[in-house]
Amino acid sequence: MTTVRPPITIVEADLDRHFTGIVEVYRANEWSHAQNPERLRTAIELSSYAVVATEGEQVVGFARAMSDGAFAVYIADILVLPELQRQGIGRSLVKELLDRYPMERFHHQVLVAERGAEGFYRRLGLVPVGSFGLTAFIRTRDQ
Ligand SMILES: CC(C)(COP(=O)(O)OP(=O)(O)OC[C@H]1O[C@@H](n2cnc3c(N)ncnc32)[C@H](O)[C@@H]1OP(=O)(O)O)[C@@H](O)C(=O)NCCC(=O)NCCS
């Protein structure tokens, strides 16, 4: 017997429909946000744009963006279920966000790459800030 899997679809996140699945994607990647779903929900609600990758009814990926709507967009939390990584889902999620804030209108698109994810962003055409003689600064609890 052959099992036919539904296609992966990228759609705007609808928290009533997708929130449980979004938390599961964070949890499956062992991101601490999953331990505090209320704060995560607030973060997504206050983001400018959030998208999910779905396979049928299941959420298999998530990403969000925060923007001033004119010059800058900050991309955050790109996550794909571990068992479905390296199948092009992350690329589709990032493309959806970057297309929403095109370089024809926006001055810069920026993100902080997790350790190990640098190659992914390079593959998508993003460039480390150091390449422009710029330095990114950060304060984080993860130091
Ligand atoms: C990083 C992540 C979102 C990538 O999603 P994905 O669906 O596996 O990536 P894709 O399959 O769309 O990969 C797109 C391209 O990047 C490459 N790539 C993916 N992950 C990579 C990595 N960690 N290092 C180097 N290249 C990578 C793929 O091989 C593919 O290359 P191609 O253009 O030759 O086909 C996913 O691995 C993930 O959820 N990781 C855990 C959470 C995380 O660290 N997120 C990043 C937050 S900054």
Flag whether 28 is in a domain: yes
Rounded Cα distance, 81 and 79, in Å: 7
Kindly state the average pLDDT of the residues 74-101.
97
Q: What is the pLDDT of residues 115-140, one digit of tens each?
A: 999 999 999 999 999 999 999 999 99
Rounded Cα distance, 85 and 89, in Å: 7
Entry pTM: 0.95
Distance 120 CA to ligand 1 centre (A): 4
Distance 77 CA to ligand 1 centre (A): 12
Domains in the chain, number: 1
Flag whether 60 is in a domain: yes
Task: Specify the CATH number for the domain of residue 75.
Answer: 3.40.630.30
Q: What is the pLDDT of residues 1-21, one digit of tens each?
A: 777 788 999 999 999 999 999
What pLDDT shows up at residue 143? 66
Is 21 within 8 Å of 59 (Cβ atoms)?
yes
Mean pLDDT over the full length of the chain = 96
Pocket of ligand 1 (CB under 6 A): 29, 78-80, 85-91, 113-114, 116-117, 119-120, 123
* Domain span holding position 60: 8-132
Q: Whose CA is nearest to atom 35 of ligand 1?
A: 88
